[in-house]
Structure 1
């Protein structure tokens, strides 16, 4: 099913017996769509929208246990960005709680801290070259906690994209001790611990990515489904400019000293296939069954989908890899994303559906997925 919206990023949650997709839209809207299935076909119905995260909502972070949604407005044509919060109602609608100005370009957020006590949300700021922290005060309220700004002594190997640090994501490690931030401009993955009382972040030794690679998004994986300092842990980094996925074995340093990374795998995000010129991978996720890794590829138009009146609609792609216990990846499949420029995707909790946000073609594609084989199928 395809819904017309200048779609940029989304989150997929379950409310009551229906599956709801919360969608942010660079045109200023945060939308809720209800996903229903009938005889193998899927449809999306718009049930709510708001402009209270305008003008350029870029990312949604959902606090499922507390029924809250946090929206980052990137502020593409403004000096600053903003952070908004909403309560999620039983019918999928949102009630606005608070909005505040932030440094420019917030594009991702992650909640951290004590699950039963004080928590905060950390934001990555792409154009602002910053990481900020906001204390969560309950009911969707929040207050500024910290601003960390970064600089580059000189532009990177790709000056048009690496003129400054560009923080692109905030990721919580599996043990909940560290926040990792891929920096596309500085070719780093920054690592932070935090003060347990104030929740202010402290920079530790980063992961140095290859020059010019442009780290964008990443995912952790524990092969045996358990998370601890002594558990086998891997980290998979997608680099947008190099179009690579790199696997690292992770070792936890003693006394909260950070993380050590040893490279165990690297490949084009196209796996064994020839990578198209200009390919720009974006999102990466481990499937709910903990067996596969899925990556979205933009700007490659590897597929042609049937359109109206015999026309062909160009489509970018999703790559699937099988995760191996030694940290390597085995290429499984390349499949159409259902449109152009899949900026983000979400996999439902059963692993049988993938909702893809194709930014340039302005559509949401619902793709069926075989949980046993990992293969992704036709758009619903």
Structure 2
């Protein structure tokens, strides 16, 4: 397999560019400009870098409508983490607005509330075993609204990883009325509603996952792109410890009472292929065309890619599934991520490019993707980072 990497500017005039925001554990948040040239080749160049989310940036939440970026500092070697905000400038640079101390270990966040009224950001805290919410006050300003800590009466089946609750992600359901938080330590997917005025979260009945499975990240899917009660809705849960993807049919309970989950599908994240026993899936996304599901697989070293100098680059993988109308999945492809430990990836708005953050390879790789077939293809660009890569997001606000 050929690994084509564009590392220098083409002599041809450029025709368009967009920005990528990338965080890494060394303490930096970096802006890269991805430029497509008239020849069809790409270049990826660093244009901005800040350490104002140090020491350990773990997640970036982009507020597309308001040109804001929120950065979570996990605080790997400290008692607390932190939340920082930035305004996004037209050139992709970031202007720091605010930083506040949080419960330890924030690793994921999502904006929720009324788009035309009070809004907040909810954070999942892995080492802090908690969910927190923060009220957004405009212009990147925010204040603490609520801390919700959790405990376990006893360790889970996988005692080494399930010694405590480990909230790993915060996402919204398709209607925007429920907050969903997979808990790797408790084998739960927590569900919350909230008060429309105060945004105070209210815990509802959770989804109970298989013992020892370790829920990590999840994605919703509406086959006909129509949301709400009476419309088909499916939920796909990646469990890191069991290395599975489980599909559920979702029904909405009356009076804002929560969600009911009925299992309709379950598979290894490798699909049709035998997966290594030590595989640890991480990220999951539905593609913008609403037809495919992509999952990242870590710690499997499924590929060794030839480098220009003759050496081999070890690589973990991405799996693509086709979404079927009954909520089941059909395996399509497994493909190299371009490095080791693809902790997170994001897909651009066209669906034609996938940006992968390979944590242990300390790089970001941009892969081409065929929108019609769903197949991921060769890298079009790659860039190294100062530390272990944690998150990569497209600057869709400026795209």
TM-score, structure 2 as length reference: 0.91
Matched with 1:152 is 152
Matched with 2:207 is 207
Matched with 1:7 is none
Report the 3-state secondary structure (helix = DSSP H, G, I; strand = E; otherwise coil) of the residue aligned with 2:309: helix
Matched with 1:129 is 129
Matched with 1:10 is none
Cα RMSD over matched residues? Answer: 1.2
Q: What is the CA distance between 1:186 and its match in structure 2?
A: 0.2
Given the superposition, is the C-alpha separation of residues 198 and 150 from structure 1 closer, same or farther in structure 2, using an over 3 Å criterion? same
- 8 A contact 2:228–2:252 mirrored in 1: no
Q: What is the CA distance between 1:177 and its match in structure 2?
A: 0.7
Q: For the residues of structure 1 that align with 2:6 and 2:278, how far apart are their CA atoms?
A: 25
Matched with 1:246 is 246
Q: What is the CA distance between 1:308 and its match in structure 2?
A: 4.3
Q: For the residues of structure 2 that align with 1:17 and 1:69, how far apart are their CA atoms?
A: 23
Matched with 1:222 is 222
Matched with 1:185 is 185
- 8 A contact 1:2–1:364 mirrored in 2: no
Given the superposition, is the C-alpha separation of residues 118 and 53 from structure 1 closer, same or farther in structure 2, using an over 3 Å criterion? same
Pairwise mapping of residues 15-34 of structure 1 onto structure 2 (< 5 A)? 18-34=17-33
Report the 3-state secondary structure (helix = DSSP H, G, I; strand = E; otherwise coil) of the residue aligned with 2:255: helix
Q: What is the CA distance between 1:229 and its match in structure 2?
A: 1.9
Q: What is the CA distance between 1:362 and its match in structure 2?
A: 1.0
Q: What is the CA distance between 1:149 and its match in structure 2?
A: 0.3
Q: What is the CA distance between 1:343 and its match in structure 2?
A: 0.5
- 8 A contact 2:16–2:36 mirrored in 1: no
Stretches of structure 2 lacking an aligned partner (at least 5 in a row): 8-14, 381-399
Q: What is the CA distance between 1:307 and its match in structure 2?
A: 2.0
Q: What is the CA distance between 1:95 and its match in structure 2?
A: 0.3
Moved over 3 A (4+): none
1:334-372 residue CA offsets vs partner (Å, 9 max, x unmatched): 000001000111111111111111011111111111100
Matched with 1:46 is 46
Stretches of structure 1 lacking an aligned partner (at least 5 in a row): 4-15
- 8 A contact 2:83–2:101 mirrored in 1: yes
Matched with 2:283 is 283
Q: What is the CA distance between 1:37 and its match in structure 2?
A: 1.9
Q: For the residues of structure 1 that align with 2:185 and 2:191, how far apart are their CA atoms?
A: 16
Q: For the residues of structure 1 that align with 2:6 and 2:346, how far apart are their CA atoms?
A: 15
Higher relative contact order (CA 8 A, sep 6+): 2
Matched with 2:234 is 234
Q: What is the CA distance between 1:41 and its match in structure 2?
A: 2.8
Report the 3-state secondary structure (helix = DSSP H, G, I; strand = E; otherwise coil) of the residue aligned with 2:271: coil
Q: For the residues of structure 2 that align with 1:239 and 1:304, how far apart are their CA atoms?
A: 26
Q: For the residues of structure 2 that align with 1:65 and 1:345, how far apart are their CA atoms?
A: 21
Q: What is the CA distance between 1:378 and its match in structure 2?
A: 1.1
Q: For the residues of structure 2 that align with 1:156 and 1:274, how far apart are their CA atoms?
A: 26
Q: For the residues of structure 2 that align with 1:45 and 1:248, how far apart are their CA atoms?
A: 41
Report the 3-state secondary structure (helix = DSSP H, G, I; strand = E; otherwise coil) of the residue aligned with 1:65: coil
Matched with 2:357 is 357
Q: What is the CA distance between 1:17 and its match in structure 2?
A: 5.2
Matched with 2:91 is 91
Q: What is the CA distance between 1:226 and its match in structure 2?
A: 1.1
TM-score, structure 1 as length reference: 0.95
Report the 3-state secondary structure (helix = DSSP H, G, I; strand = E; otherwise coil) of the residue aligned with 1:289: coil
Q: For the residues of structure 1 that align with 2:6 and 2:133, how far apart are their CA atoms?
A: 36
Report the 3-state secondary structure (helix = DSSP H, G, I; strand = E; otherwise coil) of the residue aligned with 1:290: coil
1:39-71 residue CA offsets vs partner (Å, 9 max, x unmatched): 343221100000000000000000011000000
Q: For the residues of structure 2 that align with 1:230 and 1:109, how far apart are their CA atoms?
A: 28
Q: For the residues of structure 2 that align with 1:173 and 1:235, how far apart are their CA atoms?
A: 9
- 8 A contact 1:2–1:365 mirrored in 2: no
Q: What is the CA distance between 1:230 and its match in structure 2?
A: 1.7
1:272 aligns with 2:279: no
Given the superposition, is the C-alpha separation of residues 304 and 2 from structure 1 closer, same or farther in structure 2, using an over 3 Å criterion? farther
- 8 A contact 1:346–1:355 mirrored in 2: yes
Matched with 1:108 is 108
1:124-146 residue CA offsets vs partner (Å, 9 max, x unmatched): 00000000000000000000000
Matched with 1:76 is 76
Report the 3-state secondary structure (helix = DSSP H, G, I; strand = E; otherwise coil) of the residue aligned with 1:309: coil
Matched with 2:396 is none
Q: For the residues of structure 1 that align with 2:333 and 2:279, how far apart are their CA atoms?
A: 16
Q: What is the CA distance between 1:309 and its match in structure 2?
A: 3.2
- 8 A contact 2:28–2:50 mirrored in 1: yes
